[in-house]
Amino acid sequence: MTAYRHACSRKSSGQFFTDYNLLAAGSVIVALPTVLVFLLLQRHFIAGLTLGAGKG
């Protein structure tokens, strides 16, 4: 178990090393569901924004 934890922590960062490719991939994976929900519901989102924009 200790070897596994050591390997995982060694992959992502160290004292003088940070794997920016791994951090970027993780950021994309975390942001992807939000972007997909927005793209799927974009029509409703824009309709809600413009609903109160009419004058008088």
- Asked if residue 56 belongs to a domain, the reply is no
- Asked if residue 26 belongs to a domain, the reply is yes
Reading the chain (56 residues) residue by residue, the pLDDT tens digits are 555 555 555 566 667 788 899 999 999 999 999 999 999 999 998 898 888 777 76
- Asked if residue 46 belongs to a domain, the reply is yes
Domain count, the chain: 1
H or E, element range at 24? helix 20-40
H or E, element range at 43? helix 42-51
pLDDT given for residue 56 in this prediction: 61
Which phi and psi (to 5°) does residue 54 adopt? -70, 145
Which phi and psi (to 5°) does residue 16 adopt? -125, 20
Tell me the whole-structure pTM to 2 decimals: 0.53
- Asked if residue 20 belongs to a domain, the reply is yes
pLDDT given for residue 16 in this prediction: 78
Q: By the 8 A CB rule, do 31 and 38 touch?
A: no
